[in-house]
Amino acid sequence: MTELELPPIDYAAIAPILIMLSAAVVGVLVEAFVPRRLRHPVQLPLALLAVLAALTMVVVNADKRVITIGVIAVDGPTLFLQGAILALSAVALLLLGERVVERGGAFVAQAAVTADSPEDRRQAENAGGAGEVYPLTTFAIGGMLIFVSANDLLTMFIALEVFSLPLYLLCALARRRRLLSQEAAMKYFLLGAYASAFFLFGLALIYGFTAGLGDRVAGVDFATVNAAVANSTASPVLLFAGMALVAIGLLFKAAAAPFHVWTPDVYQGAPTPLTGFMAACTKVAAFGALLRVFHVAFEGARWDFTPVLGAVAVLTMLVGALFAVTQTDIKRLLAYSSIANAGYLLVGVLAPGSGGLSGTMFYLVAYGFTVLAAFAVVTLVRDADGEATHLSRWAGLGRRSPVYAAVFTFVLLAFAGIPMTSGFTSKFAVFGPALDGGQVWLVIAGVLTSMVLAFPYLRVVVLMWLSEPGDATPTVAVPGGLTSAALVIGVLATLVLGVAPDPLLDLASSAADFVR
Amino acid sequence: MTYAQAAPAETVSYATADGLLSSVWLLVAIPLVSATILLLLGRRADRWGHWLGVTAVGAAFLLGLSYFLGLRGLENRSVELSLWDFIAVGGLRVDFGLLFDPLAGVFVLLITGVGFLIHLYAVEYMAHDERRRLFFAYFNLFIAAMLLLVLGNNYVMLYFGWEGVGLASYLLISFWYTKPAAATAGKKAFLMNRVGDAGLAIAIFIMFATLGTTQYDEVFNGIGALAGSTVLVLGVLLLLGAAGKSGQFPLQAWLPDAMEGPTPVSALIHAATMVTAGVYLIARSNIIFSANATLQLVVVSVGALTLLIGAIIGCAKDDIKRVLAWSTVSQIGYMFLGVGLGGAAYALAIVHLLAHGFFKANMFLGAGSVMHGMKDQVDIRRFGGLAKYMKITWLTFGAGWLAIIGIIPFSGYFSKEPIVEAAFAREGWTAWLFGGAALLGAGLTAFYMTRLFVLTFHGPKRWTEDIEHPHESPALMTIPLILLAVGSLGGGALLATSVPDWLTTTAGLAETEEHHGVLPHLAIFFLAQGVTVLGAGLGWFLFRGGTATAPQPAGVLVTAARKNLYTDAVNEAVFEKPGIFLTRALVYLDNRGIDGLINGLAAGVGGGSGRLRRLQTGFVRSYATSILTGALLVVAAFLAVQAGWFA
């Protein structure tokens, strides 16, 4: 009997992933065995502790540059992006765990109750919140951590599914407007599965392409793909069709046009804290994967993919900016703003060299904190029926509650890229390297669309401050400690990264080197 | 025969600041801290907040003065202070640094000096406004941003200040946001400024792309190595930025509308300081502009065209603040003309800028004082005979009037006439074109300013019934007026003798040899004084008897006001008809052409977006179709690239 030889495993390197996944499993057990009353007080600290522990491990690993088991690459970008995902998740968890603003939190206990039935309305008013939110979120975070560190396309695909499935479920759990929420979840699921199919098909084509490497075994790990791009004897049609399909799968998650169509509906329908989580963390994960795939695996085809992805970037910026102008719902407006930001991030992905890499990573962190602050404010503006997201309801908010209107104004100015906010420095960080790399057209498109985009932001600012509050203007709920903490962290990060971005920029540029 | 081109003979470099000058950052910090305190403390600071604001600007002025004097002992009279690396990634390096040299120094003195007086004035002017504290917070914020704009040692710092003053201006124009006109004006200012700001931003990106830096010294030293076309594009984009901020053609329409803000705002931001930021930008970048003759021609043309547009429209306005606003547009046109001429004319433009800062602030505050006494009315057709009731306002406004029309020996003569002369010193027929425009502008200026002055302070009373006894403003408002009037009267002579010498050490402002234009010096003197006297005399003759308080009801009143009507007829035949026609044409152009373009763009974006929105149907099947279409396109594009169709 031959002895099975286990590959050597660097447990420290994958510790953050292990911690998050185990916390999720423990969370499931808690949900099964702990009395209902105690679940929330146990689950939230558990999830937060797990995130902090994982973050600690990321810091401990800071100097690690290894590929372990052949499928997980732990290097500068991985650690930076994992750190970013964990830090943003911690803030998002604070929002997800808020139970003061709305009795029982933003998530409904029994999602299976028919939406909009009298029973459903009763539970929306009175019942406690769902506890399974925490293990689902922790699973998603674990999946994202794998996603940004995956060293081959197959692992990446599995990670994609691991973090997507919990998100589909979470989308359906909104306490208010359940029908909208369930519709959003259904759409997200169908289209997500559809996009995954593209990714998988692309993966298969790439595998076929690597078979053309004479002396090496075919495979979908990035080193092999990289070698195949240079030397494969197989038809390049396989490579380019495969590369396109893989890119589409990733661009779907990144919400780039024309694969963005799900974004507004899902952002609007999902419970707002979850929308914040998706806008911040999913974006980091998706762009982390895009960076790794295009900077490591397909590096050799840079001159071929740049024009196509550049066109996608320009289209994304245009779609995001133009559609944002006529939105009448604040969550949809933020969704289109998130689409436009995906376009700016793509500019960073396409900037060659480590400048583009570090700029993109910086942008992801800066944008994540700002967008979390934005959605935190959205959770607070509400009336008896839940959040008041229609823009007309925000008229005169500046009179009713100047503090939150001021915070939201600051956040919008940051989105618009006004200096002294992280929105300015981060745009600078991606446009600069893109110019250095000769991608002038992308930068011009970026500057022009961000001018168009300033218009809808400004409209909200004008609406809040210069309109008279009407009878319909809702009051702003007094936030609980958790939301306040999330809000303060988001706003402070936006300010600090705008005034003194250097430490993080240094960190990003020292981390900007992939292990191959 | 021409001005020497201000080519940088030696490389530009700045000494590092030490001693007293190493605390230059305080200039920006003091008003900023004061603004922050006022904003953070909220209502608690209502009782004393305005005095904090005044003190902060006063302190900044004293500091600025001592720094300015501190420059005297230095070799090249300029010091640089690097505070911290703002952005340092790979090849990109942006300092958070300050530069204090004579050019920055004179601006600092103007901003804090005139700023202090206007702050003082505003204490009384805004006394009845319950949000006075907030007003002073914005005012301080503006001062801090404006100082950052002129003190930065690279274009990114300048851009920060640039956006900061834009923000403060927007907040202050729409300060009385309950007035719809004020809110609209604020929006218009913001939008038109964005067009200019985009030009500046792209120019900065071009510097990064071609020179890899935005530090002034490195940019100026590297400009010679760039291709001519790059310099041209860079310069035109910078000019677009400058035109947006300074209300120059084709972006001038926002400035008169901005008068909806409180009068001290008009005086400080829209007359004395912020609107001159464009002139600062061009003067600071003079090495870039001197490097390309076409570029200079563009600047000169913009300046000449704008000064005529401003002067002609100024003749046809009846709102006291709007006449002054169009006059500001026109005077900044003179400054653009000056900076565009290059060589020593740069310094002349700066002198005019400083002198203008004094007399225009003086007249705006005077207008505010008149409005204060006349229940906030602004229609000069309903003023008249106010000289008796507001002696100090009358005298100080008169000083400003004499200064702006440029009668010898008041300050406008020393600052404006050299620009006219410099325009005549160009080569060939352009000398006649630009010199003629400057001369015609001088005549028109004399005419409309005289009209304004006479209709407001002299002639019969044409007040509305509710005004019984107009009163002089309190001391807190008249003291700044008096100080500014002294500056308006004597400032020009003082400035014209000392400032050019000072500025020649600022990088690139080379000294030039004696020059002769197409006309001798004496001829220009008599011509300029002649058209000025002619314009002023005509204004006096036509309006000494007042004017109709249009709209005119037909009937008994018509005969009673016959004499008025007679002047109106002359007025109409000689000036108003062509004036109105021109104005209408210009206003038409303004509304349809420029505004139309801008509104059209906005409407186009909105309408296009509305149409596009229908694409987002809400059906999963159509989403899936669009994803599939997109996927096919992307795959096709990749294959096309592979087949070499794009390469």
The CA-based diameter of chain B, rounded to the nearest angstrom, is 88
Q: What is the pTM of this model?
A: 0.58
Tokens at residue A225, please? 């793909």
Residues of B (92-121) whose Cβ lies below 8 Å from A: 92
Q: What percent of chain B lies above the pLDDT cut of 70?
A: 79
Residues in contact with A11: Cβ distance below 8 Å, sequence separation at least 6, in sequence order: A18
- For B168-203, write each residue's pLDDT tens digit: 888 887 777 677 777 777 777 777 777 788 888 888
Contact B631/A198, CB-based, under 8 Å?
yes
Q: Are strands B15-16 and B79-89 parallel, antiparallel or unpaired?
A: parallel
Total H helices, total E strands in chain A: 21, 5
Contact A244/B635, CB-based, under 8 Å?
yes
- pLDDT at position B378 is 77
Residues of B (367-426) whose Cβ lies below 8 Å from A: none
Contact B174/A466, CB-based, under 8 Å?
yes
- Decide if pLDDT at A198 tops 90: yes
- pLDDT at position A135 is 95
- Decide if pLDDT at B381 tops 80: no
Tokens at residue B222, please? 């590297």
- Decide if pLDDT at B489 tops 60: yes
In the chain, the amino acid numbered B2 is: T
Could you say which DSSP state residue A120 is in? H
Provide the residue range defining the domain that includes B628.
622-647
- Mean pLDDT across chain B, nearest whole number? 77
Give the least confident one: A395-404, B84-93, B474-483, B532-541.
B84-93
- Say whether residue A189 is in contact with chain B using an 8 A CB cutoff: no
Task: Output B515 or A9, whichever has higher pLDDT.
Answer: A9
Contacts of B633 in chain A (CB under 8 A): 258
Check if the beta carbon of residue A202 is closer than 8 Å to that of residue A241: yes
Residues of A (460-489) whose Cβ lies below 8 Å from B: 462, 465-466
Mutate to test the interface with B, among A199, A261, A509 (most CBs of B within 10 A): A261
Give the pLDDT band (50/70/90) at residue A90: very high
- pLDDT at position A168 is 95
- Say whether residue A261 is in contact with chain B using an 8 A CB cutoff: yes
Let me know whether B579 and B605 are in one domain: yes
User: Angle at Cα B391 formed by Cα B388 and Cα B396, nearest 5°?
Assistant: 135
- pLDDT at position B604 is 56
Check if the beta carbon of residue B502 is closer than 8 Å to that of residue B147: no
Q: What is d(CA A146, CA A163) in angstroms, rounded to the nearest whole number? A: 9
Contacts of A290 in chain B (CB under 8 A): none
Mutate to test the interface with B, among A171, A199, A240 (most CBs of B within 10 A): A240
Contact A451/B194, CB-based, under 8 Å?
yes
DSSP states of A288-328 as a string?
HHHHHIIIIISGGGHHHHHHHHHHHHHHHHHHHHHHHHT--
Residue of chain A nearest B629, judged by CA positions:
A258
Q: What is d(CA B596, CA B355) in angstroms, rounded to the nearest whole number? A: 35
- Decide if pLDDT at A182 tops 80: yes
Contacts of B86 in chain A (CB under 8 A): 501-502
Residues of A (346-365) whose Cβ lies below 8 Å from B: 353-355, 358-359
Of B163, B190, B634, the CB nearest to A308: B634
Q: What percent of chain A lies above the pLDDT cut of 90?
A: 58
Q: How many CB atoms lie within 10 A of CB A63?
A: 7
In the chain, the amino acid numbered A463 is: L
- Count how many pairs of residues, chain A against chain B, have C-beta atoms within 8 Å: 159
Residue B402 to chain A, least CA–CA distance (Å): 41
- For A369-423, write each residue's pLDDT tens digit: 999 999 999 999 888 778 888 888 888 888 888 888 999 999 999 999 888 899 9
Q: What is d(CA B346, CA B289) in angstroms, rounded to the nearest whole number? A: 11
- For A465-506, write each residue's pLDDT tens digit: 877 777 777 777 778 889 999 999 999 999 999 988 989 999
> Taking the domains of chain A in order of start, what are their residue ranges?
11-511
- Say whether residue B626 is in contact with chain A using an 8 A CB cutoff: yes
- Decide if pLDDT at B580 tops 60: no
Residue B28 to chain A, least CA–CA distance (Å): 15
Contacts of B647 in chain A (CB under 8 A): 303
- Say whether residue B643 is in contact with chain A using an 8 A CB cutoff: no
SS3 content of chain A, % helix, strand, coil (to 5): 75, 5, 20
Give the pLDDT band (50/70/90) at residue B550: low
- Mean pLDDT to the nearest integer, A13-23: 95
Q: B559 in a domain, yes or no? A: yes
Contacts of B88 in chain A (CB under 8 A): 502, 505-506
- Mean pLDDT to the nearest integer, B376-399: 81
Of A248, A304, A466, the CB nearest to B642: A304
- Decide if pLDDT at A39 tops 60: yes
User: How many structural domains compose chain B?
Assistant: 2
Let me know whether B607 and B553 are in one domain: yes
Q: What is d(CA A253, CA A322) in angstroms, rounded to the nearest whole number? A: 21
ipTM reported for the complex, 2 dp: 0.83
Residue of chain A nearest B170, judged by CA positions:
A462
- Mean pLDDT to the nearest integer, B52-77: 82
- Mean pLDDT across chain A, nearest whole number? 90
Instruction: Give the bridge partners for A475, in sequence order.
Output: A382
- pLDDT at position B598 is 54
Residue labelled with tokens 């990733």: A250
- pLDDT at position A144 is 96
Q: B50 in a domain, yes or no? A: no
- pLDDT at position B89 is 57
Mutate to test the interface with B, among A298, A316, A326, A360 (most CBs of B within 10 A): A326
Sign of CA dihedral B492, B493, B495, B497: positive
Contact B642/A186, CB-based, under 8 Å?
no
- pLDDT at position A342 is 96
